[in-house]
Structure 1
Amino acid sequence: MASLLPLIQDILPMILPASVAVTKAADILPPDTQPGGADGDTAAGVRVISRQAVVDKTDSMCTSILVVKPHSSSAVRHHGEQETIIYTVSGNGSLLSQPKGDDEEPERHELGPGDFAFIPAWTEHQAVNDAEVDFHLVIIRSGGRPVEVNLTGWGGPQAKDTAQ
């Protein structure tokens, strides 16, 4: 059986061809939130924008983007059982992670363009932008569709409004 494995690996791509999926930035974000674009506020005072980029293409991974406007922050959240990698595209900000104890502050991780962060499953975290320009992040998760559980605060219950 082991001798058939190389043959199967060579034949399988011919039997089940795959195609490349591309998602254009213009299809995800309004022009004023694209990296290198104007840093003005978006309509209706939206301060955090989360959009799916590549989902349901494989069971093993998916990606989305997060834009945190100046002087704003995402909700405290976790991604359930999904492990997450964050890549900073542009801007500078912080990734806060779950405090170790009740009397402690969240741990602050400074992020800038080109930086990566790994977030283990179920780990509470929050993206914060104290700067004057948009903070753009690419979020890559295990699993074919993103899980975002917004909380009322550190260690708090799930928030009723999960639009953020």
Structure 2
Amino acid sequence: MASLLPLIQDILPMIIPASITVTKAADILPPVTEANGDGQERSKVQVISRNAVVDKTDKMCASVLIVKPKASSSVRHYGEQGTLLSDASEAIIYAVLGKGAILSPPKDEGEEPGRHELEQGDFAFIPAWTEHQAVNECEEGDFHLIVIRSGGHPVEVNLTDWGGAEVKVNNKQSQ
């Protein structure tokens, strides 16, 4: 019976077609803004993470990560999706807009983190459990990334620093 399960999973979509799901940009919440001293609005949140496509399949999901100028995400890794090591979440990151970098852990204590420059149109592959950090060191212009992960919903483990403890965050929509 167990040998029929993969066959059924392959045939079922042909028998009962699934529907296409679209997430509109307007449905991905905009950043919170505040008025600054000169009367213009600026974002209070420096790193914005929004789910785009989640829980539609158990195989993949997508989210949007926006890093404001002179800001960086927390150090993070994409931990396990389930209980098996084979369920660990890998990710592909696509740079949609702007310039920035993905940092990786320093090889030795006291060294600078590894640096992987990204600009519009570039891709990065993040293996499961690999610590990384998105940074935007530009003076102006947001750094927009699409993060496509294995697993039906995003798993993101924020850390206090490289190799640091897990940060418990209640607000899943930012940082």
TM-score for both structures, normalised by structure 2: 0.78
The letter for the 2-side match of 1:21 is: T
The residue correspondences of 1:90-129 to structure 2 (distance < 5 A) are: 90-129=97-136
The alpha carbon displacement at 1:114 in A equals 0.3
The alpha carbon displacement at 1:41 in A equals 2.3
Query: 3-state SS of the aligned residue for 1:70?
Result: coil
Structure 1 Cα separation of the partners of residues 97 and 69 of structure 2: 12
**CA deviations over 1:91-132 (Å, ceiling 9, x no partner):** 000110122222322101110000000000000000000111
Structure 1 Cα separation of the partners of residues 163 and 10 of structure 2: 49
Structure 2 Cα separation of the partners of residues 50 and 70 of structure 1: 15
Aligned residues of 1:149 and 1:162 also touching (Cα < 8 A): no
Rate the CA distance shift 1:99–1:12 in 2: closer, same or farther, 3 A. same
Which residue is equivalent to 2:96? 89
Which residue is equivalent to 1:5? none
The letter for the 2-side match of 1:64 is: S
The alpha carbon displacement at 1:16 in A equals 1.6
TM-score for both structures, normalised by structure 1: 0.83
The alpha carbon displacement at 1:31 in A equals 7.8
Which residue is equivalent to 1:19? 19
The answer to whether structure 1 residue 52 and structure 2 residue 60 are counterparts is no
Query: 3-state SS of the aligned residue for 1:77?
Result: strand
Unpaired stretches in structure 1, ≥5 consecutive residues: 1-7, 34-39
The alpha carbon displacement at 1:50 in A equals 0.2
Q: How many residues were matched structurally? A: 149
Aligned residues of 2:31 and 2:45 also touching (Cα < 8 A): no
**CA deviations over 1:2-37 (Å, ceiling 9, x no partner):** xxxxxx89964442211001000110042899xxxx
Which residue is equivalent to 1:64? 63
Query: 3-state SS of the aligned residue for 2:27?
Result: helix
Structure 2 Cα separation of the partners of residues 129 and 160 of structure 1: 24
Aligned-residue CA RMSD in angstroms? Answer: 2.2
Aligned residues of 1:92 and 1:112 also touching (Cα < 8 A): yes
